[in-house]
Copies of this chain bind each other. A is one copy, B any other.
C-alpha cells in the first residue's frame, strides 16, 4: 500500500478514501429532525391561534428588540435569509399594519422598518404564547440538560461560523 500523500479536493478524497463519518451524520440528521419537529409545531400553533405565519413572527420578533427600528439589511442578516425575502415579508406586514417604514436619518439608500403600536401589541401576545410553547416542547430536558446543550451547541455554532465564513 503506502500511498503517496497527494492532495485532493474534498469530493475526490471522499470517494476514494471514504472515512467513517456516520456518527456526525447521524447527529446532523437528529438535529434536523428536532428543529423540524419543533418548527412545524410552532408554525401550526401560530397559524391556528393567531393566524400568522412563522416568518412574519420571526421578523416581528427581530423588530421588537429594536424599538427604533432596523434597516432591511440588518433584518436580513439577523434572520439569516436573503434580502429579497425580507423585502417581500415587510411588504405583507405593511399591508396588515403590523410594521411601518421610515426614512433612514443619514443614508438615503437604506429603509428603516419598525413595529407599529398595533404590531407591538399583537406581537406581545404571540411572544408570550410562543415562550410557553417552547417551554412545553423542551420540558423533556432538565435544567442541567438545557445548560449542557447550550454549551455544546455554542461550540458547534462558533466552529460552523469559522468554516462557513472566515
Which A residues are within 8 Å of any B CB, using their own CB?
10-11, 13-15, 18-19, 21, 23-28, 30-41, 49, 80, 124-125, 128-129, 131-141, 143, 145-150, 152-164
Contact = CB atoms under 8 A, between A and B. Distances in A.
A40 B160 CA distance: 11
A70 to B, nearest CB: 17
Contact of A133 (B10, B80, B141, B145): B10
A46 B34 CA distance: 23
Contacts of A11: 49, 125, 128-129, 132
A10 B156 CA distance: 33
A161 B40 CA distance: 11
20 contacts: A10-B129, A11-B49, A11-B129, A14-B129, A15-B125, A24-B135, A27-B149, A28-B38, A28-B138, A30-B153, A31-B153, A33-B80, A34-B153, A36-B80, A37-B80, A37-B161, A38-B160, A41-B164, A141-B156, A149-B149
Contact of A37 (B23, B40, B164): B164
A27 B19 CA distance: 32
B137 A159 contact: yes
Nearest to A149: B152
A18 B137 contact: no
Nearest to A140: B159
